Amino acid sequence: MAVFTPLSDAQVATFLEKFDVGRFVSLKGVAAGTENSTFFVTTDRRELVLTLFEQGEHAELPFFVELLDYLDEHRLPVPGTVHDRDGVALHSLADKPALLFPRLPGRHPQAPNLAQCRALGDTLGRLHKVSQHFPGHRPNPRDLHWLQAMHHKVLTYLSADDQTLMKDEVDDFESAFAKHDELPQGALHGDLFRDNTLFEGDTLGGIIDFYNGCTGDLLFDLAIVINDWASNEDGTLNGERYTAILSAYQSRRRLTADERTLWPTMLRMTALRYWLSRLLVVYVDPPAHDLTPHDPDRFRTILKARMAHGALPLPEASS
């Protein structure tokens, strides 16, 4: 379930009058999603998505609007926000911050094929190329500093072996990153899992859910993608998907020497980032709503596989 605040047809019809989007026809709550209330809205002119923000830092919403609009202006397949007749995107509805988006086409891929992996790698490479010039600023809220500060909170729930594993890994990341200058920076999606993409066949119709968006190491975003898109059931890397994503990505943006050196560490660090965030949801800060949390062990398995086997060699750019 992902409608925490129900809306009536009349409320939405009145809300839409601020915008030049046509007349209200119908409203449907969207079942997917865990954080916000999402609705599909049909008017006599178009299909829209209405999001009510239920939690998180509302002060950061203007950053997300700027980022989405910037990427949309640069022709990335993201839902740029719909602005009202006065040019305002961010509104309030049912006492919650509200944004209206175009509804993008497609479905989330469960088992992405290689053409879909290439499309994702190519689009992420393009996104990172333009996002290096994005003027906004929001420090990555899930970076190494966060890992250092937060991992203490879950240690008590872990076996002695897992406690050692987590502490040693965080120390290792710290010394690996300390040896290098700052990596290439830009705006990141920050959570680019398969269920935040929409595909029509092999065409990437949209990247959604930018609410982990921030600015920081571009390599962080790429490592999140590889761990979710190119991991086998046992956590090991799927070589074909790995190569398809990374060669398409590098045809848009070649990794620097420092990024190549830190790549195996970044894969481990982003695996631990999700192991930890999922453990925090299960043990420390469970959601108020009755939702099944994501499985933390999935990312422990991925972390252990990266520790055992490292990364596969980085492919060259595809032509």
Which of ligand ATP, ligand HSE, none is residue 294 near (CB under 5 to 8 Å by kind)?
A: ligand HSE
**Taking CB under 6 A as the rule, does residue 1 contact ligand ATP?**
no
**Taking CB under 6 A as the rule, does residue 191 contact ligand HSE?**
yes
d(Cα 123, Cα 229) in Å, to the nearest integer? 14
Helix axes 257-279, 218-229, angle to 10 degrees: 60
Find the binder of ligand ATP among 12, 27, 41, 49 (CB under 6 A): 49
Query: Please, which residue, 268 or 278, has the CB nearer to ligand HSE?
Result: 278
Spatial neighbors of 241 by CB under 8 A, at least 6 apart, are: 112, 114, 117, 229, 230
Task: Give least dist CB 274 to ligand HSE, A.
Answer: 5
For β-strands 91-93 and 96-102, DSSP reports them as: antiparallel
Residue closest to ligand ATP when measured from CB atoms: 33
**Taking CB under 6 A as the rule, does residue 177 contact ligand HSE?**
no
For β-strands 96-102 and 47-52, DSSP reports them as: antiparallel
**Taking CB under 6 A as the rule, does residue 38 contact ligand ATP?**
yes
**Taking CB under 6 A as the rule, does residue 103 contact ligand HSE?**
no
Residues 260-289 binding ligand HSE (CB under 6 A) are: 274, 277-278
**Taking CB under 6 A as the rule, does residue 33 contact ligand ATP?**
yes
**Taking CB under 6 A as the rule, does residue 142 contact ligand HSE?**
no
Residues 192-251 binding ligand HSE (CB under 6 A) are: 193
Q: Token digits for 279?
A: 């453990």
The Cβ of residue 309 has, within 10 Å, a number of other Cβ atoms equal to 12
Which residues of the shown chain bind ligand HSE in the complex (CB under 6 A)? 191, 193, 274, 277-278, 294
Which residues of the shown chain bind ligand ATP in the complex (CB under 6 A)? 2, 30, 32-36, 38, 49, 79, 101, 103-104, 195, 198, 206, 208-209, 211
